[in-house]
Every structure is written in C-alpha cells, then in structure tokens.
Amino acid sequence: MSEQPPSPSSPTDGTDADALGETYFETVEMTPEPSTDEPATDEASTDEPATDPASADEGLAEQPTFAGLGLNEDLVAVLDKLGYEEPTSIQQEAIPRLLEGTDLLGQAATGTGKTAAFALPMLQRLANRQGARTPMALVLTPTRELAMQVSQAIHTYGKSMGARVLPIYGGQPIVRQLKELQRGVDIVVATPGRALDHISRRSFDLELLEIVVLDEADEMLDMGFADDIEAILDGVPRDAQRMLFSATMPKRIAKLAGRHLHDPVRVTIEHDGPAGGEDPRIREVVYVVQKHHKPAALARVLDVEGPEATIVFCRTRNDVDELTETMNGRGYRAEALHGGMSQEQRDRVMSHVRGGTTELLIATDVAARGLDIDSLTHVVNHSVPSAPESYVHRIGRVGRAGREGVAISLVSPREHSALRSIERHTGRKMEIDTVPTVADLRAKRLGLIRAAMREAILGAELDTFRPVVESLSDEFDLVDVALAAIKLAHDESSSDGDERDVPQASLDHSQGKGGGKKKSRPEGGGPNAGKRLNSADAGRVWVNLGRDAGIRPKDLVGAIANETSLAGRDIGAIQISARFSLVEVPAGAVDEVIDSLSRTRIRGKSPKVRRDAAS
Ligand code: AMP
C-alpha cells in the first residue's frame, strides 16, 4: 500500500517492462547494469530506420532522437529499454536547453512527458559531476502521490547509473527520512511542507543544490504552498538552475517565475483554439476506465463494434508488446508494430494487416507514422497521446477518402488533463460514453444471428435440414425447435471469454489539473466503522478475510482506496467478523471493488471477494 514507506532494499532487477509502476527508491550505490535485456537491434528507438513500412508508403521527415538532443549513451540506452521511441514535444524543446544549464519556464500538463524532460538533463548533470556533495537537486511537487510518482520515474531513468532518489512527504515517519538523508541522496522529491521541515532541522541543506524544479506549480499555489515555496527558493544558491512547470500560467505563476528564474527559456506545450484536420466523418468516443481494465474494455468495444481492421496506439514498445500478448490471449488476432522489430518482421506484419489475416494492429506512434491501410475502420488510443497533435494524427488513420471511421479513446482518470488539452487543441468537446455492457453485447450478437437467419431463410437451400425439424416437431413445439437452433448458433458464435461488465470509472476533476491523485484516505484504525452510506446507494462486498487473518478496517480502506477509483471517504460501514469482512461501498462501484480486490493482496493474502448476498 502506498502508506508504506518505500523500502531501501526495493528490488531493482532490471526487468522493468513498466518500471515506472514498480520500484523507485534506492539509496545503495549500484554498479551499472548491462544496458539491455532485449536482443540488440540496429533500430534503437532513438534511431528509427528509414525503411519503416510507413516510410515505404509515404516517406518520413527526419525524426528527432534522444541522442540528437544531447543525452548520453547510458540514458539513451535506458529510454530504449523502456520502449520510448522518440522524444515528446516538451522533451525536444526542453532537454537541449536544460543541458546547457538554462533556467526553464514550462507550460505543460501531466501526460506530456514533462517528468523525463526535467529528469534526464538532471541525471546527465549528476553523471558528469565530480563533487560528491549531496543532495544536488530538489523537485517540489504538490502532493505525496506525485512526489512518489516523480521519484519513481527518476529512479527508473537513473538506476543504471546509481542515482539515489528519495521521496519525502508528510505522513511518513520523519525519522526514516532523516536516516536516508544522512546516508546520502542525490535527488530529493518533496512536498513543500515536509521539505521546509527538513530544512529547519538542518537535515537537508539547500546550499548544496545545483538544480531546483517546481512541478505543477499552479497546483502548489492553489494548495496554499506559496509562502513555503518562496522560503525554499530564497535559500537556494543564486547560480542553481531553476525550472518551473505548470499546467496553467496565471499571473501569480508568471510573478513567481519573474522573481526566481534567471532569463528562462519558455516552453509551451498546450495549444488553445481549434486546429485544422478534424474530420466530421470520424465518430469520436471516449470511455473512462481504470488502467488495468483497459484490455477488457478494448475487447468489449471490439466485440460490439465489429471493426474490419483496427489500429491500437500505445505509448511505448513495452506497452505494445504487453497489450499484443494480452489481446492474443483473449482470442483476437493481434500483431505488434514498433521500432524494436526488424524491417522484415514489420513487413510481415503489414502484409498480414493488408491481407486481412490480422484484425488488430497494436503500434507506437513512430512505427505507424504515415501508414495508410485501406481496411482500417477503427483507431483506438489505448493511452492518451502525449501531444494533442498526435491525437489528430492518430485519428486521421481512419475516415480517409470519404469513408467513415471510429476513433475510440480509453482514458484513465489520471489522463483527464491530457484529454482536456486535446479538446482545446481540436476545439471539440469529447463525449464520454459508457463501455458496452454484457447485455449490449448479447443484444448485438442476437441481432447478428437474426440477420444471418433471415438471410438463410430467404436465400439458401434448407431442404437438407427438413428431416431434423420434422422429426423433432412430433415431439416439440416448432417455436421451441427454432429457439434451440438459435441457442446453438449463439453458443457457437460467442466466445466464452470475459462476460463480466467492465467497471466504469469517472474523470475525477478534483484530482487537479496535473492529474496527481488526491484521494483523502482516513488515517488510523477503524475510521469507517460507524459510517453509513445512504442505503439506497450502498452495495456490500464480502471478503473472506476477517479478524483471524489480522484484518483491520484500515487494511480494507487502504486496499480499496489504492486499487479502485474510490477514495476513503466513499467507503461506508465496515464490519469485521472472525472469518470474513463486509464493506459498504457505493452500489455502482461494487463490481469494480470486487474486480480490483480479487487481484490484490491484503495483509499478504489473496482475498476471495464477492457481492454480499444481502446487498
Ligand atoms: P508525464 O507527463 O511526465 O507524467 O509522463 C507521462 C507518461 O509518458 C509516463 O508514463 C512516461 O513514462 C511516458 N513517457 C514520457 N516520455 C515518453 C516518450 N518519449 N515516449 C513514450 N512515453 C513517454
């Protein structure tokens, strides 16, 4: 649970397909790892081959690369291993200037790749540094969740070079933080209040800082941290490099920047007003689901929409590989396309797509650039693209030459600010729809069977089957015979895969512009024991763990708040018996809670979870 302080012995095994979600803290000096566990290719993500299948079709402009921005080989290798194929816009603009030591004022929201934009130059400076005085960099973030997330990201980018990153935030025992600071930390990621606390205890010396970053500065000011930030910045050496990132640029941010940044380069990755390129023949649909429900949502949408051919966009090669495997496991004919594949492999994939043997092409933006596939009817954004322009490019893959197309975006609550940037860019409001339910799917399948039967009655030679019907008609009513035939056709046509409704999530605007989670989580034991949800809105979830398993209310609250879109305050009464527990949650969230808790561990045990019979 995120309440737990990160362990200094967190594994750093290098198998970081999605390393940003795993370990993020390491205070032990490490020896550099082997640069990659993937087979070496001559097509590093930073060096996309000119013979891309896309380029064969339309030709490619010269592509930006991480190496071209001035990053060193080690960092380029890390990014390659993470599957980043090319720098995002903010990375292209910010990294070269930051490497020169310039101050920066960046207007960019979460989802644009801004963390890597400031973290990579910071790590390069750390690598080039002779002195051992620490900490050399401080990143201030508005919430502890964001502090952990940013710390996790910097750790992932810097672990092969032995960078020591420490998140410090309120709510975690200060003694532990003091110990880690004493052992030596290169980069501190902190919430302003706790940072000041350490500064006043002299456990953290601002004088040594070479870089200071304000991340989501508008959020920090909104949360009342203005004085804390001023106090901290006043203590930072004059010649330290300063970076300020903010999703919005109100006057107070401009003033803050004016007071503390020296001759900053200004980078804006947000575009106001409508852009060209929109195509009314493209139906745009947004579904809001938690990240771990995206594959199930994708499967459901594909089943109901029945596309001819679909392209699904992911951010990284690793995401592409993972989703391809998942979708194949679910029975779809999916193939991956990304820059880590050889030209021969890519050509083969493209011929499968064009020949109709592959229905699902799962790709990175770079690999799919310029592709023109006639049969394509659907584009899916498995994650919201980092730049609004990419969205326009992605959806432009369908609706070509007057044909109709569908663009589907699977958006997690965290991605809401990126979605808003796209709306501002296209000048169109994106309608949020509900993921088709099992009932919708059934209705769709029955509709297809009806149409097929109609066709058979009208056209085909049915006499061969007449003896079967006639012999059964002696014994049964003809309608029952017809119903049985439909059932057989239905069972034949429907896969026995996942037939559960995909839990809906909502864009929680209280999460703030930066998208950092801000769930209120009750501290201490038994916070919800007496709380009641309005019974009309409440559902109850049964968990097979109780007092005998050492379960306390806060274990259940923590697990639910961590794993679902619910916050602690959304959870109602909790009843803990010796062998099981009952938790009251909003009725609409029961399925999501069951699904999420079933996959997690509570006090080290895998729980069995179901809807309580009485709810
Ligand atoms: P941020 O805007 O920093 O919150 O980053 C959003 C997400 O984009 C994170 O999951 C990063 O891992 C990912 N990301 C950052 N840069 C790139 C890139 N160049 N290519 C692909 N993914 C990236």
What pLDDT score does 512 carry?
Answer: 37
DSSP H helices, 511-567, are 553-563
For residue 511, pLDDT over 80 is answered with no
Residue from 410, 378, 375 nearest 394 by CA: 378
Q: Which of 140-144, 494-498, 565-569, 588-592 has the lowest mean pLDDT?
A: 494-498
For residue 18, pLDDT over 50 is answered with no
Q: With 0-12 CB in 10 A as exposed, 13-18 as middle and 19+ as buried, what is 475? A: exposed
Question: Radius of gyration over alpha carbons of the chain, in Å?
Answer: 27
The mean pLDDT value for 529-555 works out to 75
Q: For residue 112, how far is its CA from the centre of ligand 1 (angstroms)?
A: 6
What pLDDT score does 424 carry?
Answer: 86
Q: For residue 309, how far is its CA from the centre of ligand 1 (angstroms)?
A: 27
Residue closest via CA to ligand 1's atom 19 equals: 87
For residue 109, pLDDT over 50 is answered with yes
Residue closest via CA to ligand 1's atom 18 equals: 84
Residue closest via CA to ligand 1's atom 14 equals: 113
Residue closest via CA to ligand 1's atom 20 equals: 84
Taking the C-alpha atoms of residue 282 and residue 268, their distance in angstroms, rounded to an integer, is: 28
Give the phi and the psi of residue 166 in degrees, each rounded to 5: -130, 125
Tell me which range, 113-117, 128-132, 329-333, 339-343, is most confidently predicted by mean pLDDT.
113-117
Shortest-distance atom of ligand 1 to CA 316: 21
601 in Cβ contact with 569 (< 8 Å): no
The string of pLDDT tens digits covering residues 476-509 is 999 999 999 888 887 776 655 447 788 878 775 4
Bigger pLDDT: 439 vs 8: 439
The mean pLDDT value for 277-304 works out to 84
Taking the C-alpha atoms of residue 297 and residue 525, their distance in angstroms, rounded to an integer, is: 36
Q: For residue 172, how far is its CA from the centre of ligand 1 (angstroms)?
A: 27
The mean pLDDT value for 52-75 works out to 72
DSSP-derived pairing of the beta strands 360-363 and 581-586: unpaired
Could you tell me which residues come within 8 angstroms of residue 293 by beta carbon, excluding any fewer than 6 positions away? 502, 503, 505, 595
Taking the C-alpha atoms of residue 459 and residue 471, their distance in angstroms, rounded to an integer, is: 23
CA torsion sign for 354, 331, 447, 442 is: negative
Pocket of ligand 1, candidates 76, 107, 143, 386: which has the most ligand atoms within 8 Å of its Cβ, to mutate? 386
For residue 326, pLDDT over 90 is answered with yes
386 in Cβ contact with 113 (< 8 Å): yes
For residue 437, pLDDT over 80 is answered with yes
Residue closest via CA to ligand 1's atom 11 equals: 113
Model confidence at 194, in pLDDT bands (50, 70, 90)? very high
Residue closest via CA to ligand 1's atom 21 equals: 84
Residue from 337, 341, 342 nearest 370 by CA: 337
Q: For residue 113, how far is its CA from the centre of ligand 1 (angstroms)?
A: 4
Give the CB-side neighbour count of residue 36, counting CA atoms within 13 A.
Answer: 18
SS3 for 288?
strand
The 8-class DSSP code of residue 39 comes to P
The mean pLDDT value for 68-86 works out to 95
Shortest-distance atom of ligand 1 to CA 153: 12
Side-by-side strand order, sheet with 187-190: 165-168, 187-190, 137-140, 211-214, 241-246, 104-107, 265-268
Bigger pLDDT: 528 vs 456: 456
- Other C-beta atoms closer than 10 Å to the C-beta of 409 total 26
Pocket of ligand 1, candidates 152, 316, 414: which has the most ligand atoms within 8 Å of its Cβ, to mutate? 316
240 in Cβ contact with 209 (< 8 Å): yes
Bigger pLDDT: 373 vs 264: 264
Could you tell me which residues come within 8 angstroms of residue 262 by beta carbon, excluding any fewer than 6 positions away? 103, 242
Shortest-distance atom of ligand 1 to CA 115: 3
The mean pLDDT value for 381-409 works out to 83
Model confidence at 514, in pLDDT bands (50, 70, 90)? very low
Residues touching ligand 1 (Cβ under 6 Å) are 20, 84, 87-88, 91, 110-116, 315-316, 386
Shortest-distance atom of ligand 1 to CA 66: 19
Taking the C-alpha atoms of residue 335 and residue 328, their distance in angstroms, rounded to an integer, is: 8
What pLDDT score does 5 carry?
Answer: 36
For residue 218, pLDDT over 60 is answered with yes
Shortest-distance atom of ligand 1 to CA 112: 2
The mean pLDDT value for 470-475 works out to 90
The mean pLDDT value for 84-107 works out to 94
What pLDDT score does 250 carry?
Answer: 87
Tell me which range, 39-43, 287-291, 387-391, is most confidently predicted by mean pLDDT.
287-291
Share of the chain above pLDDT 70, in %: 80
For residue 297, pLDDT over 90 is answered with yes
129 in Cβ contact with 187 (< 8 Å): no
Residue from 94, 138, 141, 147 nearest 116 by CA: 94
For residue 394, pLDDT over 50 is answered with yes
Three-state SS annotation for 226-264:
HHHHHHHHHCCCCCCEEEEEECCCCHHHHHHHHHHCCCC
Residue closest via CA to ligand 1's atom 5 equals: 113
119 in Cβ contact with 78 (< 8 Å): no
Residue from 332, 445, 414 nearest 380 by CA: 332
For residue 415, pLDDT over 70 is answered with yes
Taking the C-alpha atoms of residue 522 and residue 519, their distance in angstroms, rounded to an integer, is: 10
Residue closest via CA to ligand 1's atom 8 equals: 113
For residue 103, pLDDT over 60 is answered with yes
Q: For residue 87, how far is its CA from the centre of ligand 1 (angstroms)?
A: 9
What pLDDT score does 535 carry?
Answer: 55
What pLDDT score does 580 carry?
Answer: 86
Q: For residue 417, how far is its CA from the centre of ligand 1 (angstroms)?
A: 14
Bigger pLDDT: 541 vs 512: 541
Q: For residue 95, how far is its CA from the centre of ligand 1 (angstroms)?
A: 14
Share of the chain above pLDDT 90, in %: 39
- The mean predicted confidence, pLDDT, of the chain is 80
Pocket of ligand 1, candidates 315, 319, 383: which has the most ligand atoms within 8 Å of its Cβ, to mutate? 315
**Rounded to two decimals, what is the model's pTM?**
0.57
Shortest-distance atom of ligand 1 to CA 85: 20
For residue 148, pLDDT over 60 is answered with yes
Q: Which of 32-41, 88-97, 431-440, 585-594 has the lowest mean pLDDT?
A: 32-41
For residue 324, pLDDT over 90 is answered with yes
288 in Cβ contact with 431 (< 8 Å): no
Q: Which of 94-98, 288-292, 560-564 has the lowest mean pLDDT?
A: 560-564
CA torsion sign for 81, 82, 87, 91 is: negative
Bigger pLDDT: 303 vs 402: 303
Residue closest via CA to ligand 1's atom 16 equals: 113
Adjacent-strand bridge partners of 574: 583
Q: For residue 19, how far is its CA from the centre of ligand 1 (angstroms)?
A: 12
Shortest-distance atom of ligand 1 to CA 84: 20
Q: For residue 176, how far is its CA from the centre of ligand 1 (angstroms)?
A: 30
Q: For residue 308, how far is its CA from the centre of ligand 1 (angstroms)?
A: 31
